[in-house]
Structure 1
């Protein structure tokens, strides 16, 4: 209810009331809303934006304030107190309206428990409650939780995110009035709403770190943070053994030693669900080793001439090669090797495996087990003997003579015995014995097998990679001791492989005496000459070579490069600058086996093991299907030196 007659002109208001009205309109730019409404409702100003800007200009202690200008405009239009109060109410400028109105007691129009005095919320979601009151001076709001004020919730609507269990309880709102000078007038409390939290599943928010090294005698701490309702409970495990006293979100071992090494994880659970944290590898922090160099030879045999062709070795080797390159290995990859090529590749590889060097050999292809493990080259006959294959001791007898600091051999082959019905001759063969010994070091040797004795090794139907290579690639570049790498590979295969493939059980033999890791850094300084030599022998930059077709007086060029990374022994030749001609490639001397493939559309060919070619490559130009010129191109002049050593 207005204090003044509603027909009283604004200009006739008492000076103190007029000043107080201006002060309220200047607060929080209330004058702006009133000014915009004046423009729209009274239609007295041609351009609203221009007028609002004019009200803001020249606002200083000596010039009229924006609110004074708006009220003056209303005076010129003979506006009454009634009209002004109507405009103030339309703008929701209730504090300014209270200057003209008599006090009105608080009345709660809407209680927060409008639907129910109970509310159930989901953990992590928002709680919204609303109340509404009227009165003059206009009401203010302050929400309470269990009789404690929520400082930042001071509007009609309570809006908070429920992230803690202790946010459950009773919520209500205090609605109160103050005079314009801040003095207290009255207050009311709304009815309460009892808020409870719905049960929620366990969510792990912070995982323990995946790898941790702790010095002997020092403290080990691992943390696993989780949230849920009811509150989660924790139980820590080491290598699947329950740690009876480790039942909080932080695992703590005050004095760590080698007996505490292992794989730690936390079981987090409540009455609704459970979850397991990721596993943390915790090891004694021993002095790190350093390598003089790290070199790997990887062979993928899949296109067998007389045996069943395989589908995954090529992809397996490429995947493992990438991981090894990422951790600093010099990697030599060869595809589809004959017996002679394999022997020579191993011999050249061994020359660089000097003292202090880490060496790694991986073979993916066909193999068998007869006292020893054997690797089959692609040219092994249908009915083969042990002499047609390379046995592991033959490999080691060549490798270990130069005493590498660490050597890892990985045979991704079947370990089954050849059938007596299919291959009776091999069972009568007297095997040769290969001794392997080093001048100083017979230790620090890892022999890993994709499967154990007398068991098969599987490719994965319809998959790019084989079973063992898939799991090996998960761990081979991890910063964990070398023994742990193969331990984890075996566990991973056991965990994930299903069905018939469970007959494949990886195996490893080790004479490791030092905490070697494949991720160990390389000593600074100039590497030994043998290492520099092998690095130079596998260099294969792209080359563009000029050629000439003399019969038709056409000059062109060819690009020589790898056909596909990371393989060294498949060379691509692409003809450039001959757009108007077709091209044909063929061997000048026929090869015993198909080693030349071509793609006429791209005017390119690729040659497998070019060092075995009997003569140069013939490049023939054709016009409308008719040969118009040809030239000889000696690929041997442009292949890596390593391949020359395999002839």
Structure 2
């Protein structure tokens, strides 16, 4: 340990030089500020890199400064906190002592959690030498779900249904010049450490943030389409000419919430609004499908699929919360991929289009709840929308069981209030939706509450 680096035996000197030269690893050892033994200026580093066998000269430079094997090992041990196992091979060549795995600082803190708005970062606190290989498992997985000291999961339903643990292992590898030294009889050369399970259920958010969650809801929609559901022990009659996979349930709801717009301002509350309504409808035995952050094409696709659930006698609810606007009394809804200048028909989903999709349906209730801005677009953009809407006039006809509910009046924006879980519309809708009153009375009550809301700021 006290041997000067310049005085190492020739074989060890050249092995160490080769290891330091691998991807210029020696540059990471340099300290620009604090340690005088390892300090170098950038110009010196650049000059060394231009030379043949530069690592031989770097070792001699460090040796001439009085650096010993012990000094280098202590430096590498410190750097391992940042670079993990990058310096293990060098330390093994210098015969650093094998250290079994242990929890640092103590066994009470095996896994730490760092939580932000969207993710949970789990970090395994196992330490030893060589640096451990760390694998993460869920409570129902036999194979690891991730390898690495830290594991970041989304705060969404698919992640928080699990508990997590880490399993750390370290051992001396086979087939190296140092292997025999460490594996002599009676010497310990491997260890394993396994943490307790960590439960992150309490950190779940109501948002759906990942593709896995979205795919799960897609699967639920497909299942509803395929299932032969019974309500109150009575099978819903199906005409003989209707395919059984298109059978409608008695109460269905399609809920769409768009927050994370690519080119438009991000919204705060839509996902929470969607989950609030879904929870309320599920308590009333609605079969709900909640989808988040959909593109325009995805919105159109799921509306077409949702149409298959709507038949005679069905109570159907469609709710959309996100960006939108109004043209000539018609609402237009925007997917998360809408461009910054979305005031063109091809970039939006019109309610004319949606009604044309449902034109041949006769549900007992067809409720559309639109939680969007209804601000008017610039005058010079109106012409394209007028021309676009002409194609739908032939489908226009009154449906006595169709009801619209808007979050705001025409020409006015919908609002979120900082610090509140729900937008203004859902803040009051959730108080009325479960009441045993007519739909029209419910909507009138909500709008009256909104008018009296003291926090609405225009």
TM-score strictly above 0.5: no
Considering Cα pairs closer than 8 Å and 6+ residues apart, tell me whether 1 or 2 has the greater RCO: 2
Higher helix share: 2
Higher strand share: 1
What range describes the TM-score normalised by the shorter chain of this pair? 0.3 to 0.5
